[in-house]
Structure 1
Amino acid sequence: MKDIIYKINTGIEMDTIIKLLYDSDYLPLIDMTDRKRLHKMFENADIIVSAWDENKLVGIARSLCDFSYCCYLSDICVHKSYRNHAIGKKLIEITKETAGKECKLILHSNSDAAGFYQKIGMQNIAEAFILQREY
């Protein structure tokens, strides 16, 4: 595998992001044709870390952050063909570094990914609550 290049808060075309979401089997919205909502998700993020194999987007992490107390890592995905190469771990490391030492990094995992987060040293907490969105 070639060297993966990581970028922080670089403008990425929506079509490129949508392609990665499908190529990673990560579909955060029921209606993936809602480009306006997808655009708002990325436009309003504070930290977007992307992973590139030359000019191909192979991973992305999207976070909301106050840069002083907490950073919510809302979305992270890696292209299926690029998994098991520590790209997800690196996306998280760069996100944490960008957020700063004062920030705790928080994420809500689906059950399929929980093992990955535990493997890279993230602590599973039970003190989380949610008011679910109306998709």
Structure 2
Amino acid sequence: MESINKISYKVNESIKAEELSKIFKTSGIKRPSDDLNRLQRMIKNSNVLITAWNNNQLIGVARAITDYCYCCYLSDLAVNKNYQNRGVGKELVRLLKEHIGDEVALLLLSSPTAMEYYPKIGFEKIENGFKISRKK
């Protein structure tokens, strides 16, 4: 287990595709981690990027797309496995909610393995959703 000196959180701090790739790989989240060009576009086209750092090491990320007045889609919530179960993900979501404001609904799609996690940090399960899947 990693030692925590001091976790700090940053809003819209610039990160590199390589850093996002490493977070995805170390968190267990399924993303196109080896496609650095695609990851760079994911970073560039996000409205909000909340990051968690242990000293200079990126240990967590919440990446979102929002209109800042009605809805926000939390695209990624990823925390390095060595830092999970320490409140990092919960704090990333809290900071995201603070950043987008009270009039904005926060939405996400969960992986099957995280279905029990999200209610623990304040999300309400909903049944009325639809999707058209990506082709790659």
TM-score category, normalised to shorter length: over 0.9
The alignment partner of 1:105 has SS state of strand
Distance in 2, Cα, partners of 1:34 & 1:20: 14
Q: Deviations over 1:71-125 (max 9, x none)?
A: 0001110000001100000011111111111100000001111111011221000
Aligned to 1:24: 27
The runs of 5 or more residues in structure 1 that have no matched partner are none
1:65-84 mapped onto 2 (5 Å cutoff): 65-84=66-85
Aligned to 2:63: 62
Answer yes or no: is 1:93 the counterpart of 2:94. yes
1:38-49 mapped onto 2 (5 Å cutoff): 38-49=39-50
C-alpha contact 2:51 2:61 (8 A) present in aligned 1 = yes
Aligned to 1:118: 119
The runs of 5 or more residues in structure 2 that have no matched partner are none
Aligned Cα RMSD in Å?
A: 1.0
C-alpha contact 2:16 2:40 (8 A) present in aligned 1 = no
Aligned to 1:51: 52
TM-score by length of 2: 0.94
Count of aligned pairs:
133
Aligned pair partner of 2:7 in 4, 8, 13: 4
Distance in 1, Cα, partners of 2:34 & 2:5: 32
Which amino acid in 2 is paired with 1:13?
K
**CA-CA distance at 1:33 after TM superposition:** 2.6
Q: Would you identify which runs of 4 or more consecutive aligned residues in structure 1 move more than 6 Å? A: none
Percent identity between the aligned chains?
Answer: 37
Aligned pair partner of 2:18 in 7, 11, 15: 15
TM-score by length of 1: 0.94
C-alpha contact 2:69 2:103 (8 A) present in aligned 1 = yes
Distance in 2, Cα, partners of 1:92 & 1:5: 14
Which amino acid in 2 is paired with 1:98?
H
Query: Which region of structure 1 is more displaced relative to structure 2, 12-21 or 120-129?
Result: 12-21
Distance in 1, Cα, partners of 2:38 & 2:17: 11
Distance in 2, Cα, partners of 1:9 & 1:94: 11
